Amino acid sequence: MPYQSPFNAIANTIGAERSLFGITDTESVDGPTALKAVGQFSMNAGNFGSSTTFRFSSTFQVSDAALTGTVTLYNLTDAEVVASFTTSATSPQNQVALLTLGAAAGNLKISPKIYEIRMSVTGGGPTDLLNVGSAMLVVN
């Protein structure tokens, strides 16, 4: 049997009311690195039913309130941002975005695409950190 992305596999499952897909967890990026890509996956949102909703969720924090950390769901195939969160919080927080399905730029596509999570932090030092506890796709 050929490999099937977990996202497409769940689309073929009858009766799944809610699914959480952990894309990445416990990742950090520092100031000198500045940008880090983690958690690539392929998905065709068109394989899910028309009443399905998709949310991108991430829990993250920065090491210093003077920093800005960003977590982005990025469509690597089409080179576009789907959802992006920022914070200057030094304690963990969770942010959630409802994703729009469609063909327009920034939408979760209804055709096969490759997505990834991108993490970035302002600052230039090795102690300037963005810590991501998790990044998930919630499918209802």
What is the model's pLDDT at position 12? Answer: 47
What is the model's pLDDT at position 124? Answer: 83
Could you tell me if 109 and 75 are in contact, meaning their C-beta atoms sit under 8 angstroms apart?
A: yes
Domain boundaries, position 48: 6-139
Determine, yes or no, domain membership for 55. yes
Helix extents (H) in the chain: 6-11
Rounded to whole angstroms, how far apart are CA atoms 128 and 131? 10
Determine, yes or no, domain membership for 126. yes
Is the pTM for the entire model greater than 0.75?
yes
Beta strand extents in 44-79 (DSSP E only): 54-62, 69-75
Which residues, including other chains, have CB under 8 Å from residue 9's CB and lie 6 or more apart?
none
- Per the structure, how many domains does the chain have? 1
What is the model's pLDDT at position 11? Answer: 46
Instruction: Give the up-direction half-sphere exposure of residue 33: CA atoms within 13 A in the CB hemisphere.
Output: 17
As a dihedral over the C-alpha atoms of residue 55, residue 58, residue 118, residue 82, rounded to 10 degrees, the angle is 20
Determine, yes or no, domain membership for 113. yes
pLDDT in tens, the chain (140 residues): 444 455 444 444 434 446 878 888 899 999 999 999 999 999 999 999 888 999 999 999 999 999 999 999 999 999 999 999 999 999 999 999 999 999 999 999 999 999 999 999 998 899 999 999 999 999 99
Structure tokens at 54: 């998709």
The CATH number of whichever domain residue 80 belongs to comes to 2.60.120.380
Q: How far is CA 60 from CA 55, 87, 108, in A?
A: 16, 8, 22
Determine, yes or no, domain membership for 1. no
